[in-house]
Amino acid sequence: MQRILFLALVLALAVVMTMPVFADDTQPPVISQVNVTPALAAAGSVIHIRVAVTDNIGVTAVSADSYPLVNTSQSYWEGDILAAAGYETHSVNIVANDAANNTATNTSGVYKTAEVVGISNERINSTPAFIAASSRFIFKVWGTVTDTAADSFMVSDSGNLSTKVMAPGHCLNIGDYVTAWGILDPSSTPAVLNSAQFYAINPTHSIYLNYINVGKDLQTSLTGSLSTPAPAEGLDVTLISSDPTRLRLSDTANSLGRGSITFTIPSYMTALPTFYLQGLDSSGTVYVFVNAPGAYKKLTVNLRPSGFIIYNTADFTTTRLSSDSPIKIASCMLIPGTLKYDASQPLRAGIGTISVPVTSSDISIGKITTSPVTIAAVAQFADTAFHPLADGSTQITAGVPSGFNTPSDHRQITATVKTLTVSCSDVAVGKDLQVGVNATLSDTPNPPVNVTITTASDTIATVSKDPNTDGSSSITYTGVISTNIGPFYVQGKSIGTTNLTISVAGCDPVTKTITVNPSGFMISNPSVDGSGAFSTKVSLPDTTVTITSAMLNATTFAYVAPQ
């Protein structure tokens, strides 16, 4: 009895433990802190978000302006967004979800998008008006690096004053020429640019990169090389997009792009690691500034329109009996102006899943097995198929999702469906003789088909697969996978006519006439004049005489053909 009670208790606890502990939870997460840095930024610049979120059953996801954040430690979630366009204050929309799908939102975090203004080092250090303007503008300076520290460098434009640029991990050397922009702190002497971005120009070393094109909401990979190997400690390389609102950079295919990335070339190597360019616009040019100690490159990236095509498939013909014809849909870059297919490229990271409708213009002729197809971020292809139903033609079209262009080619193909037919000739055979016969299918069957061949009267003629086997009234070829059937053998049994019928499932049977004629034997060799007559001498060797069975004319009994 005690054992039974114990087992019942264990089962009850098991049931309780398997029940979701959050089934009745309605308490949303608590967003207690939102940090947005920097508070002032140029459009397209990287804004770092740090959020503190707690929940009684556990936080499952946090996003900032739809950009997913990453759980970095306990209750903190972090990530980057891109500063919005428009010279105004922007609220960051934080959304947190828990395991019970409860949602909390917070818009307390703000930043301001500011216009970028170029200025000399002398004016930025000596003009009082810039003290008031520092809260409304991002300032840009140019010049030569005159001093460096781990988190900053000094820029001089050959005047009497310099500007301090705060850029941790900058990898610049004294003598490098740079363009830098950031938030001005005019209270310092010299003036300081905080939260700065920059690109450097130094012609003493070369970075080899070819110009490249990328489609809107697509991405492409790129690598390059140095003219000389990296030093023993390796070489840190920073890439900066001149317009992150139109082109982002990523060091992995699956990561949402940013305005800049940094990677290290291993010691004594020249190859740059593969990086990824993500297009956000369909036209124009964006530059990528590649900076490293002693090296600089300005990479031109052309932005292109994009769309979806039917990939590597032309118009095709199939049959009602055929299996489904595969159709592959691909994302691609298009040629500006003509919108013709240029090159296939995968969807960019962070775009989510795109649905592409695929249609048949006449669904009575054939239908699309899966529509819409879906292509996830970083993927390039999706598969569907055409299922034939009836004879005729129909147009297959790849649709145009919102935000993409309509390709002017490779978007539509024609599928023609026709009945599988059998071809065969009438058969003439001599009595007690046999003749090989071939039949053909109009198309290669897919899937394989069974073919049955019968004679209406097996007393007049029979059929056989093997010339050495006495035939019967019917034979069947199973799993036929080619257009050829046979050869099979028609054997004459008695003089007369009968029908030969070839049947394939789903096709109209074909009926031909078998005529059984008289037969006999003839001298087929030697034959000089066609009569079989020949001359010889006693002194000559024996002459070989060949006797051949043959079909004869039903009326004159003249020779017709050897069988």
Look up the CATH number of the domain holding residue 460. Answer: 2.60.40.10
23 in a structural domain: no
CA nearest to 395, candidates 412, 383, 410:
412
**Residue found under tokens 């009082």:** 128
* Domain stop point among 138, 173, 201: 201
pLDDT tens per residue across all 563 residues of the chain: 444 444 444 444 443 344 445 557 889 999 999 999 988 888 888 889 999 999 998 999 999 998 888 888 889 999 888 888 888 899 999 999 998 999 999 999 999 998 888 777 777 776 666 666 777 888 888 888 999 998 899 998 766 788 999 988 777 888 888 888 888 887 788 889 988 888 776 555 678 888 799 999 999 999 999 888 888 888 888 888 878 889 999 999 999 998 889 899 999 999 999 999 999 999 999 888 887 777 767 788 999 999 999 998 899 999 888 889 999 999 999 999 999 999 999 999 999 999 999 999 999 999 999 999 999 999 999 999 999 999 999 999 999 999 999 999 999 999 999 888 899 999 999 999 999 999 999 888 878 889 999 999 999 999 999 999 999 999 999 999 889 998 999 999 999 999 999 999 778 899 999 999 999 998 888 764 556 677 888 889 988 888 999 999 999 999 999 99
**Residue found under tokens 């070989």:** 544
Q: Same domain, yes or no, for 314 and 342? A: yes
Tokens of 173: 């050397």
Neighbouring CB atoms inside 10 A of 201's CB total 15
Q: Are 78 and 150 in contact (CB under 8 A)?
A: no
Q: Same domain, yes or no, for 363 and 436? A: no
Separation in Å, CA 24 to CA 91, 99, 165, 304, 364? 33, 11, 54, 50, 50
Q: What is the pTM of this model?
A: 0.57
Q: Same domain, yes or no, for 314 and 413? A: yes
* CA 100 – CA 24 distance, rounded (Å): 8
* Domain stop point among 74, 92, 113: 113
Q: Same domain, yes or no, for 414 and 432? A: no
Q: Same domain, yes or no, for 275 and 340? A: no
Q: Same domain, yes or no, for 86 and 131? A: no
CA nearest to 356, candidates 348, 365, 364, 347:
347
- Count structural domains, the chain: 6
Q: Residue 169 — left, alpha, or beta (φ > 0 → left; ψ -120 to 50 → alpha)? A: left
Which structural domain, as residue segments, surrounds residue 445?
425-516
Q: Same domain, yes or no, for 212 and 180? A: no
DSSP output for 226-248: ESS---TT-EEEEEEES-TTTEE
Q: Same domain, yes or no, for 387 and 468? A: no
12 in a structural domain: no
Q: What is the largest CA-CA distance in the chain?
A: 137
CA nearest to 490, candidates 506, 473, 511:
473
532 in a structural domain: yes
* CA 159 – CA 145 distance, rounded (Å): 13
Beta strands in 258-371 (DSSP E): 260-265, 275-279, 285-292, 295-304, 306-310, 316-319, 325-334, 341-344, 354-356, 358-360, 366-368
